[in-house]
Amino acid sequence: MPDINIGQMGHTTASGGKSPLRSMPKLTKLNADDNMSLIYRNMGNNYAYPFLWAETVTFSGGGTQTLVSGVKFHGMKAAEYCKVVVGSLATGMNAYITKDTAANTITITSSAAGSVDVIVMVGLNPDVAGIAGRGNKGAQQMLP
């Protein structure tokens, strides 16, 4: 069976050695909701895995509101696993995100009244330099 390893690949580690073989990345069908600012992966069996969504948080005055509380993705706490980006702010308004990993909450605090656009992304910090592609490293051989 000459093609036994066709479904496996390795990548170069920081020290230049090869890491253990792992399965090839799978194609992912991305889905978006018609009514919500949400992109998710359909995992089958009536189960969806959200990984990017946006929302607008409105403050009637300065204060704190909870964005995510007690949510886990595949056993990982949202406060440890999610990245939150604050978008546009009203004039004279300051806002910041607080993550409490012990309580597994993500909150946003505002200094004044107004609306804040927030984007939440699920996932660990990427190693962008390690992504093989024609744009940054040239063509890569698919087989080991």
Domain boundaries, the chain: 18-124
**Measured between alpha carbons, how far is 49 from 42 in angstroms, rounded to an integer?**
6
Determine whether 4 is exposed, middle or buried from the number of CB atoms within 10 Å of its CB (0-12, 13-18, 19+). Answer: exposed
118-141: pLDDT as tens digits: 999 888 777 666 665 555 555 555
User: Residue 94: pLDDT above 50?
Assistant: yes
Cα dihedral 66, 70, 71, 72, rounded to 10, equals 150
**Given this model, what pLDDT does residue 101 score?**
93
The helix (H) or strand (E) run that includes residue 80 is: helix 78-81
Band (pLDDT 50/70/90 cuts) for residue 17 is low
- What is the pLDDT averaged over residues 71-79? 85
For the chain, the helix, strand and coil percentages under 3-state DSSP, each to the nearest 5: 5, 50, 45
What predicted TM-score, i.e. pTM, was given to this entire model? 0.64
**Given this model, what pLDDT does residue 6 score?**
44
Please check whether residue 7 is in contact with residue 23, taking contact to mean a CB–CB distance below 8 angstroms: yes
